[in-house]
Chains A and B, each alone.
Chain A
């Protein structure tokens, strides 16, 4: 049977296995966690890692898991967290009340100054990115 073009990828590449990708993502996250916000290094590092993952994601270089052709009606449950987050973010952004009614990123900024949490955030970002590349 012919495979759809977006699914037919050889999964046997050595670098495309958890034993390789997990340590690589951890190393990248630890390096990212050392780079302070608003620095040129942090900007270049984010652009570099993001570009590489987008390059992998737009080509057929990484094995992809099959995507569903239809979504069940239960998908509507996702509107609950998405709508709550979107409404709050829009309200806090539009009111521009700074610390009185802070946006999500304003709340996250002080937490992300801590190196360990910053590395954890890097790991979350990169691991999710990798998950999207594989989809």
Chain B
């Protein structure tokens, strides 16, 4: 039962990611695409240090290592 809830929940979240991205790409949409959200986050800097950029690139590196290497 709990396993089914987990699988259904994760699948639903993936579908929601796709649906929101689809909605964002419609003409005149008020929803930014995931690329725009990431680009906005990556603009964040503390002084000369691009903290947002380092954080997001580092996070994605960890995701790859977690799923594809470890």
Contact = CB atoms under 8 A, between A and B. Distances in A.
A108 B60 contact: no
Interface residues on A, range: 35 or more
Contacts of B20: 77-78, 80-81
A99 interface: yes
A118 B68 contact: yes
A73 to B, nearest CB: 7
Nearest to A46: B69
A72 to B, nearest CB: 5
A42 B69 contact: yes
Interface string B39-58: 11011000000100110111
Nearest to A56: B57
B53 A75 contact: no
Contacts of A132: 38, 42, 56-57, 60
B31 A88 contact: no
A49 B43 CA distance: 23
Determine the main DSSP class of B at the interface with A: helix
Interface residues of B, number: 44
A70 B70 CA distance: 37
B3 A58 contact: no
A10 B35 CA distance: 21
Contacts of A32: 68
A43 B67 contact: no
B18 to A, nearest CB: 9
Contacts of A50: 61, 64-65
The 9 A-B pairs of least Cβ separation, nearest first, read A74-B31, A81-B16, A67-B39, A74-B30, A50-B61, A85-B13, A46-B69, A101-B2, A135-B39
